[in-house]
């Protein structure tokens, strides 16, 4: 912890975020962006003008800031001006950066099988964790926070507490995944975290999970671009290809908007191949045979 005193302005903004139940991660990110803005101004950010905002965002572009960072800064500044300062007139001058969203990269079922099989040991811990990513479509941050008690074998569900957006939901639990998780539990006998870290009192970190996934991808002869989140993309895409309704997949993934889930239609090649072109439905006049 830093011994540097917290200013009244920062304390007020933290209180505003706490009242709105922002996550700790979001609070730290917002404070960091406001501190960067104050550093750019060389004075308190509550004295900012519209020109200051314009010059700050222009400077960020010139420094090579990518659209996700630009939009994150804009969200933090918008909250600061609108809620903490009550200056919505300044918030309206913030520009958001629009950019094309890339299609998710997915693995084929064969590649997924090779990846999971190549998960490093000892034991079934990493194989089970990667299987949860693909078998239930969970995010990495959701996998590492699972507890043994979240596995509901009676209803064949996985309880996900405080997922993205601080929302609880249920994910599917397949018989094969349950069998693997039971085998892993018999090895670890954990009464708390489903995937304990080096310190049994703490869960495995998302960084460790990513490292394990990269190791498995290398051992399986796949690219270094493979991540645990790619298994989530593959889960959704393969469900769509097998004929599962996109609205059901939306619920399983915990997406707030159907548009987010609909992206997988662009990479579900089996679905695209099953669609008949309207041209093939036409009855075209037969051509006369050549003389």
Is 99 assigned a catalytic role? no
SS3 124: coil
Of 63, 197, 179, 85, residue with least CA distance to 132: 179
Q: How far apart are the first and last CA of the chain?
A: 91
Of 92, 101, 21, residue with least CA distance to 67: 101
Is 281 assigned a catalytic role? no
Is 55 assigned a catalytic role? no
Q: Single out the catalytic residue among 33, 126, 233, 255.
A: 255
Of 274, 270, 271, 250, residue with least CA distance to 261: 250
Q: Single out the catalytic residue among 125, 233, 238, 264.
A: 264
Strand order in the sheet with 151-152: 151-152, 157-160, 169-172
Is 189 assigned a catalytic role? no
Is 238 assigned a catalytic role? no
Q: Single out the catalytic residue among 139, 169, 233, 238.
A: 139
Residue the block writes with tokens 């693909």: 134
Q: Single out the catalytic residue among 87, 105, 147, 229.
A: 229
Q: Single out the catalytic residue among 126, 127, 232, 238.
A: 232
Q: Single out the catalytic residue among 87, 114, 159, 164.
A: 164
Phi/psi-derived region of residue 137, left when phi > 0, alpha when psi is between -120 and 50, beta in every other case: left
Is 147 assigned a catalytic role? no
The Cα 217–Cα 112 span in angstroms is 9
Catalytic sites, residue numbers: 139, 164, 229, 232, 255, 264
């Amino acid at each position: 912890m830093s011994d540097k005193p917290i200013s009244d302005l920062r304390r007020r903004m933290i209180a505003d975020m706490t009242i709105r139940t922002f996550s700790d991660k979001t609070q730290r990110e917002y404070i960091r962006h406001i501190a960067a803005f104050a550093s750019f101004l060389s004075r308190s950010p509550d004295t900012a003008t519209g020109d200051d905002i314009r010059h700050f965002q222009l400077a960020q572009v010139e420094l090579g800031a990518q659209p996700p960072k630009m939009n994150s800064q804009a969200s933090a500044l918008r909250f600061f001006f609108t809620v903490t300062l009550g200056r919505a007139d300044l918030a309206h001058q913030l520009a958001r950066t629009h950019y094309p969203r890339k299609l998710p990269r997915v693995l084929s079922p064969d590649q997924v099988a090779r990846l999971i099989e190549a998960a490093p040991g000892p034991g079934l811990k990493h194989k089970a964790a990667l299987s949860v990513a693909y078998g239930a479509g969970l995010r990495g941050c959701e996998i590492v926070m699972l507890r043994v008690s979240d596995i509901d074998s009676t209803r064949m569900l996985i309880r996900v507490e405080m997922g993205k957006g601080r929302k609880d939901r249920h994910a599917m639990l397949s018989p094969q995944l349950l069998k693997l998780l039971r085998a892993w539990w018999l090895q670890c006998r954990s009464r708390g975290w489903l995937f304990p870290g080096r310190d049994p009192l703490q869960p495995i970190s998302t960084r460790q999970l990513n490292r394990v996934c990269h190791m498995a991808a290398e051992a399986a002869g796949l690219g270094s671009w493979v991540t645990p989140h790619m298994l989530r993309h593959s889960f959704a895409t393969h469900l769509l290809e097998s004929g599962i309704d996109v609205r059901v997949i939306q619920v399983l993934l915990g997406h707030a908007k159907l548009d987010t889930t609909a992206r997988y239609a662009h990479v579900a090649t089996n679905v695209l191949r099953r669609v008949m072109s309207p041209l093939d439905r036409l009855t075209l006049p037969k051509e006369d045979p050549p003389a």
